[in-house]
């Protein structure tokens, strides 16, 4: 079993590497794995249905993760894991997650390959920039979608007419405003207790997130909080501080990853491997 304190400890004692060297290593190792597992991208197959290809991409991603681990930017050290630790984490990962309350409650369950269980629908404009005055109406349109099991937030360009700057008092205010407006949109949609799977999109720092996730502002105890890794395969103490809080809260927690095609990961084949890792 791997613990939070194991991860923190390894961020302080793991192998040292300069960040630029790690960036180059990601692309180099991913490129080798593309050839090793004969992974080829076919632009005519937007959603590949090749089970063997999926297995090879998964194995390549696992190999990359075991080789490089995760890079901690604050200490310039690698947080590495053994195959047994990774397989244990996968084996004991949650098989169901509950969002929302009352008649708006919905349960996300594990679905295997070609599973006939209907998918859980997380409707969201996350990552989309929207003008402050149109924020509520925009996110309400997602919350009122009949297929939506949960909804989430866009990113407001301003709050109270001011741009949001990370690490400032304005960021804390923006995070609180974010939660207030999301729950306002849920009520306007006629689904006051629908789950929000990404509760705070307007803030990056941990203190702003913690300030916002209060019941008085409309946060439900099982709304979701994300910890977003930095491309590629990196974290820092700011993200680990969020994990420390989330371990003790009732909020649903998940990782958010987005490998960047054309960046250090390389082309579509290598980017897919890095994303799996």
Convert the pLDDT of each residue in 153-167 to its tens digit.
999 989 999 999 999
Same domain, yes or no: 73 and 115:
no
Same domain, yes or no: 68 and 118:
no
Return mean pLDDT, the chain. Answer: 95
pLDDT at 64 over 90: yes
Find out whether 54 and 275 touch, Cβ atoms under 8 Å.
no
Q: How many domains does the chain have?
A: 2
Same domain, yes or no: 147 and 213:
yes
Residue 70 lies in a domain: yes
Residue 247 lies in a domain: no
Q: How confident is the model at residue 1 (pLDDT cuts 50, 70, 90)?
A: confident
Q: Is 169 exposed, middle or buried (0-12, 13-18, 19+ CB in 10 A)?
A: exposed
Q: How confident is the model at residue 47 (pLDDT cuts 50, 70, 90)?
A: confident
* pLDDT at site 258: 84
Same domain, yes or no: 173 and 209:
yes
Same domain, yes or no: 144 and 169:
yes
Query: Mean pLDDT over residues 198-219, rounded?
Result: 94
Same domain, yes or no: 143 and 215:
yes
* pLDDT at site 244: 96
Same domain, yes or no: 138 and 165:
yes
Same domain, yes or no: 142 and 191:
yes
pLDDT at 89 over 90: yes
Same domain, yes or no: 81 and 117:
no
Residue 186 lies in a domain: yes
Residue 176 lies in a domain: yes
Contacts of 46 (CB under 8 A, 6+ apart): none
Same domain, yes or no: 130 and 208:
yes
Residue 231 lies in a domain: no
Least confident piece of the model among 91-95, 126-130, 140-144, 179-183: 126-130
221-271, pLDDT tens digit by residue?
999 999 988 999 999 999 999 999 999 998 999 998 888 988 888 899 999
The DSSP output letter for 132 is G
Q: Which residue range is the domain that position 40 belongs to? A: 4-91+262-276
Same domain, yes or no: 40 and 151:
no
Same domain, yes or no: 38 and 115:
no
Residue 230 lies in a domain: no
């Amino acid at each position: 079993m791997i613990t939070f304190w194991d991860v923190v400890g390894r961020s302080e004692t793991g192998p040292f590497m300069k960040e630029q060297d790690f960036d180059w290593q990601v692309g180099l190792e991913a490129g080798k794995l593309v050839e090793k597992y004969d992974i080829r991208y076919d632009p005519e197959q937007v959603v590949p249905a090749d089970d063997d290809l999926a297995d090879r991409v998964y194995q390549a991603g696992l190999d990359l993760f075991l080789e490089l681990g995760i890079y901690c930017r604050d200490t310039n050290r690698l947080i590495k894991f053994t195959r047994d630790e990774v397989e244990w984490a996968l084996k004991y990962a949650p098989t169901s997650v509950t969002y929302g309350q009352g008649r708006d409650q919905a349960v996300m369950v594990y679905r295997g390959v070609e599973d006939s269980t209907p998918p859980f629908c997380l409707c969201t404009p996350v990552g989309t920039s929207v003008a402050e005055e149109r924020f509520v109406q925009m996110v309400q349109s997602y919350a009122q979608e009949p297929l939506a099991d949960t909804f989430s937030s866009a990113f407001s360009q301003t709050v109270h007419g001011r741009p949001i700057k990370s690490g400032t008092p304005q960021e804390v205010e923006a995070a609180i405003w974010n939660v207030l407006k999301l729950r306002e949109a849920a009520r306007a949609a006629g689904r006051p207790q629908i789950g929000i799977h990404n509760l705070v999109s307007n803030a990056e720092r941990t203190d702003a997130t913690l300030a916002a996730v209060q019941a008085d502002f409309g946060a439900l105890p099982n709304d979701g909080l994300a910890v977003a890794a930095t491309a590629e395969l990196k974290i820092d103490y700011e993200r680990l501080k969020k994990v420390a809080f989330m371990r003790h809260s009732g909020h649903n927690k998940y990782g958010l990853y987005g490998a960047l095609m054309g960046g250090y990961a390389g082309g579509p084949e290598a980017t897919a491997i890095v994303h799996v890792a």
